[in-house]
Structure 1
């Protein structure tokens, strides 16, 4: 994998840190694709899992940002809406 001069470790680090405070684990498969697993550290629940992300798409930092944005959208869609807190005076 040759991604805009980034090593696989650097790419994984960028993607994993983009989802903090959730726990994100990004692993490279033997075929060079990435598997991404995002978990809620409070309860261990898997919030999102993506398999087979092609690293060929990362020709610039913009593509990495686009992937993170797409995954955040999927993550938001997969999460149940949070109950609104009522302010009591």
Structure 2
């Protein structure tokens, strides 16, 4: 079991679904007790890797949702930076 009662598969599935339609691959590294989340937009080719996310950051549903919100924000910020770089 993983964290607050979710198995590795359930956690990965949940995280990967919340980023749809962006392709998301979540990898659980039990030995290092970390997650890796890779986002890829097939329309733009943009990819972002969020690595070494410690399990202890997501001890319950609220902290998991906060992590997802943070990653969405970072993804949006990187998109704006990319647009700005191409415009300038």
TM-score strictly above 0.5: yes
1:1-89 superposed matches below 5 A: 2-29=2-29, 30-46=31-47, 48-80=48-80, 81=83
As a proportion of its length, which structure holds more helix?
2
Relative CO higher for 1 or 2, CA cutoff 8 Å, sep ≥ 6?
1
Using the alignment, how far apart are the partners of 1:32 and 1:70 within structure 2? 20
What TM-score results when the alignment is normalised by the length of structure 2? Answer: 0.81
Higher alpha-carbon Rg = 1
Residue ranges of structure 1 left out of the alignment (5+ in a row)? 82-89
Pairwise CA RMSD of aligned residues?
Answer: 1.8
Using the alignment, how far apart are the partners of 1:56 and 1:9 within structure 2? 18
Using the alignment, how far apart are the partners of 2:14 and 2:55 within structure 1? 13
Q: Which residue of 1 aligns with 2:86?
A: none
What TM-score results when the alignment is normalised by the length of structure 1? Answer: 0.80
Question: 1:79 aligns to what SS in structure 2?
Answer: helix
Question: 2:12 aligns to what SS in structure 1?
Answer: helix
Aligned pairs, number: 81
